[in-house]
Amino acid sequence: MTTTSWNHKDLLGIQDLTVDEINCLLDTATAFKQVGERAVKKVPSLRGKTMVNLFIEPSTRTRTSFELAAKRLSADVINITTSASSIVKGETLKDTALNLQALNTDIIVIRHSAAGAPHFLSRLLKASVINAGDGAHEHPTQALLDAFTIREKKGHIAGLNVTILGDILYSRVARSNIWLLTKLGAHVTLAGPSTLVPRVFEEFGCRVTHDIDEAIRDADVINLLRIQHERQRMTMFPSIGEYAAMFGLNKERFARTKPDAMIMHPGPINRGIEIDSEIADCGRSVILEQVTNGLAVRMAVLFLCAGGKHSPEGAE
Ligand code: CP
C-alpha cells in the first residue's frame, strides 16, 4: 500500500479529489478492513491525537462509525451533539470551533445542515476537518464506502452501470457518489420523479431518466435513496403512497433486474417506501456490508488526513 498520493489535512468532498487520491483512500481502507478482522483490532496510528465528533444534525451510522474508527486508531474521542452543547444558547459555529481549537483538538468531524460548513472550518482551523455531511452538498465518506463495497463485490468500478434511484435533488450522498463513480469510469444513471431528478444533473456526466423500469433493467448496482423530507422546502410528489407505487423498488420491479444486480442503500431505510422490506433483507442487498466497510473507510480517512505515523499493518 502507498499513501504517497495523499497530501491533504482535510477531507471536504469528492469533487476536488483526483483518481489517484480516491484509489489511495480505497486501498488504505482495504488494509484497515483486514485489521478489523483480527483478534486485536486496534493499532497505535493516532495515539495521542484527539478527535471531536461535532454533529449538528442527527446521525446513527456516520457518527458511530467515526467514533469507532478513531478508537481503533487509538485516538481520544469526544462527541458533541447540538442539544447538549452551547449551540442551543446561541454560540456560533465559529466560536464553537475556536474553543475546540483552544483545547488542542487534532481532528474535527462535522455534520451540519449548511452546505460549506466544513470548508469554513477548514479555513479557520489548524486541525484536520472531515466532512460527515454538509446540507445537500457532499457526504464524501458515504461515497467512498459505497465505492469500496462495489469494488469489493464486483472487482472493479469502471464500466459498471450504476443506477441511483430516489431523491437526487436534495441528496448529498447522490452528489458525492456521482462525482466519485464518474471519476472511476462507471456509467451513472439517475432516476426518480422529475421534480427530484432534474435534467441539469446531466451536466455532471450522468444519464437522467424518469422511467424506473428502464433505469433498473441493465443496472449492475442499484443504490436507493430515501426522501430527504428535512431538506425539501415544498411537496415534490402527491403522497408517500404514490411515491412508493411509482418509484419504490418492490418485488415486481426487483424480479425484472439483472440476476446479479447489487442493492445498496446508505441508510436510514424507510421500509415500504423506497424499498420493500424483503428486498432490503435479501441476499443481494449489501446494506449492512456498507456499514461494515464504512468503518474501514473512516479509519483510512482519519489515518491519512491526521498524518498517522504507523502503517495499518502495525498493530500493537
Ligand atoms: N448514511 C448516513 O449518513 O447515515 P446516518 O445519517 O445515520 O449517519
Q: In this structure, are 145 and 230 located in the same domain?
A: yes
Assess whether 144 and 280 both reside in one domain. Answer: yes
Element (H, E) at 38: none
The number of the ligand 1 atom at minimal distance from the alpha carbon of 57 is 6
Q: Is residue 233 over pLDDT 70? A: no
Query: What is the predicted pLDDT for the residue at 234?
Result: 58
CA 226 to chain centre: 14
Separation between Cα atoms, residue 289 and residue 294, nearest integer Å: 8
User: Residue 316: is its pLDDT beyond 50?
Assistant: no
Q: Residue 265: give the domain boundaries.
A: 140-291
User: For a substitution probing ligand 1, which of 56, 60, 81 has the most ligand atoms within 8 Å of its CB?
Assistant: 60
Is the CB of residue 176 less than 8 Å from the CB of residue 13?
A: yes
Sequence-separated (6 or more) residues with CB below 8 Å from residue 194:
210
Closest residue by CA, ligand 1 atom 6: 59
pLDDT above 90: residue 111 = yes
> What are the distances in angstroms from CA 17 to CA 20, 114, 132, 282?
8, 21, 16, 34
Q: Are 265 and 146 in contact (CB under 8 A)?
A: no
Residues 40 and 78 in one domain: yes
Structural domain includes residue 98: yes
Check residue 308 and give its pLDDT. Answer: 67
Residues 6+ apart with CB under 8 A from 312: 1, 28, 31, 32, 34, 35, 43, 45, 299, 300, 303
> Within a domain: residue 157?
yes
DSSP 196: T
Per-residue pLDDT tens digits for 78-108: 999 888 889 999 999 999 999 999 999 999 9
pLDDT tens digits, residue range 4-56? Answer: 689 999 999 999 999 999 999 999 999 999 999 999 999 999 999 999 999 99
Domain membership of residue 270 (yes or no) is yes
Residues in the chain: 316
59 lines ligand 1 (CB under 6 A): yes
Q: Is the CB of 28 under 6 A from ligand 1?
A: no
Query: What is the domain count for the chain?
Result: 2
Look at residue 14 and tell me if it is in a domain: no
Nearest CA owner, ligand 1 atom 4: 61
User: Is residue 142 in contact with ligand 1, taking CB distance under 6 Å?
Assistant: yes
Residue 232 pLDDT: 63
Whether 109 and 166 map to the same domain: the answer is: no
Rg (C-alpha) for the chain, rounded Å, is: 19
Backbone angles phi, psi at 54, to 5 degrees: -105, 95
Q: How confident is the model at residue 2 (pLDDT cuts 50, 70, 90)?
A: low
Question: Which CATH number characterizes residue 149's domain?
Answer: 3.40.50.1370
- Say whether both 147 and 285 belong to one domain: yes
Decide if 252 is inside a domain. yes
Residues 286 and 248 both lie in one domain: yes
Residue 315: predicted pLDDT: 41
CA 274 / ligand 1 centre spacing (Å): 16
Same domain? 148 vs 281:
yes
Same domain, 129 and 28: yes
pLDDT at 290 > cutoff 70: yes
